[in-house]
Amino acid sequence: MSATAQDADRPGHGDRLGFKPDMVVQELGWDEDVDDALRESIEDRIGSEMVDGDYGEVVDGVVLWWRADDGDLADALMDSLQDLVEGGTVWLLTPKVGRSGYVDGADIAEAAPIAGLSTTTTNPAGSDWAATKLSTHKR
């Protein structure tokens, strides 16, 4: 089997991150350094473009790109919840160890509960980014 055929059989990052067709996903923290292949994989999976922070309606999930010098992570996580449906998921995408803007896992573990989120898993998401799944507490 060719490498291309093997790649076609593998689930994309959008699949592995748990996104489903017709979900509304909000993207925050976009900048020119984001992983375009990861973005495309998510958009392919949901069947539409991700919405931005000005969307103003309920979203099923949030993708938050974050770098060490972007400011206060707890504040950004709280802001990411503004449009998120109850029980929704925030995927925090941070540069991997050794990459510019790397965010230490301890910083994520400290910021998440301040925003009312629980850290569940961290997985590679492309060659330069790690994805940390943060879940809201159901009320």
DSSP bridge partners of 131: 93, 123
The predicted model scores a pTM of: 0.88
Strand ranges (E), 11-139:
25-28, 59-65, 84-95, 117-124, 129-136
pLDDT band of 126, cuts 50, 70, 90: confident
More confident residue, 42 or 2: 42
pLDDT score of 138 = 58
pLDDT score of 10 = 46
Mean pLDDT of 60-77: 98
Helix (H, G, I), strand (E, B) or coil at 114: helix
Full set of structural domains in the chain with CATH: 3-136 (3.40.50.150)
CA distances in angstroms from 101 to 32, 48, 77, 86, listed in the order given: 13, 29, 17, 30
Q: What is the mean pLDDT of the chain?
A: 90
